[in-house]
Amino acid sequence: MASDPLSLSGRTCLITGASSGLGAHFARIVSTAGARVVLAARRLERIAALADDLRAKGMQALAVAMDVTDEASVLSAFDAAEAEFGTIDTVIANAGVSAPGRSIDVSSDSLRGLMETNVLGIMLTAREGARRMIEAGSRDSGKGRILLVGSMGAIASIPGETFYCASKAAVASMGRNLAREWVRLGINVNVIQPGFILTEMAADWFASEGGKAQIAGFNRRRLQDIASLDSTVLLLLSDAAEALTGSVITIDDGQSL
């Protein structure tokens, strides 16, 4: 184990949904911890700019186009990542969308898109990562790490987000089941469930009167600081997490209490 227990030196981490919000933040902290990072998203210009910024700071980063709902796109992104950096031994399956609105009003197309991204996309990303890790010898090395990004919505009732919450409950279940399936193959799978954080996707809502009222209703009357996820994420991706698999960890600043 490295002298710094949370060091990711020597690891190569692929992160989906890396063009903004949590994904972009995770790319920065994982890079700082020493990992090579593969930034995957549909908005290639966004991740290309982030990769340039990371490389300018002396880090190793690659931007690859990926639509997590399209298996061919997922395979192509992993191929490009391996051609540049070799085996991907660490994956953060982060891409996700929302379809807010009353359940009787949200269109079936919106619901289908949400489930394809938040559930199918997580599965396609995680299983392709696992396939590559197994082929590279994860059973012997024990180095495989997969982190699924869920939401505290999996355990809380959020008005106007019924289907988002359902999709994140599916992510929590998926994480535990994949962990069980791959536990003897040297791959640890865990899930984090963040609370509401100020990201690009949520900025307009939390600037509105309704959003401000929602914040006032949180137990600590505030949005969660994005940096509050950092230490847990680094732990779950590191060698120090060798005995941590199948965990679903809610980190939400007490919002779901």
The Cα–Cα gap between 235 and 87 comes to 20
What percentage of the chain has pLDDT greater than the value 90? Answer: 90
Separation CA 206–CA 66 (nearest Å): 29
Residue 200: the pLDDT is 81
* 132 vs 136: CA distance, rounded Å: 6
| Cβ atoms 211, 205 nearer than 8 A | yes
Least Cα distance to 41 among 200, 251, 226 occurs for 200
CATH node for 12-243: 3.40.50.720
Q: Where are the domains of the chain?
A: 12-243
What is the DSSP code (8-state) at residue 3?
A: S
Q: pLDDT tens for residues 134-148?
A: 999 999 999 999 999
Classified as helix, coil or strand, 137 is coil
Q: Look at residue 202 in the predicted model and tell me its pLDDT.
A: 80
Give the model's pLDDT for residue 5.
Answer: 85
More confident residue, 159 or 26: 26
pLDDT at 201: 77
What pLDDT does 2 receive? 46
Q: Average pLDDT, stretch 209-228?
A: 94
pTM value?
0.95
Rounded Cα distance between 26 and 29, Å, is 5
Lowest-confidence pick of 1-10, 177-186, 212-221: 1-10
- Give residues with Cβ within 8 angstroms of 244, minimum separation 6: 188, 190, 235, 236
Q: What is the mean pLDDT of residues 23-47?
A: 97
Residue 205: pLDDT band (50, 70, 90) is confident
Is residue 69 within 8 Å of residue 40, measured between CB atoms? no
Could you count the other beta carbons within 10 Å of the beta carbon of residue 125? 27
Q: Indicate if the pLDDT at residue 48 is higher than 50.
A: yes
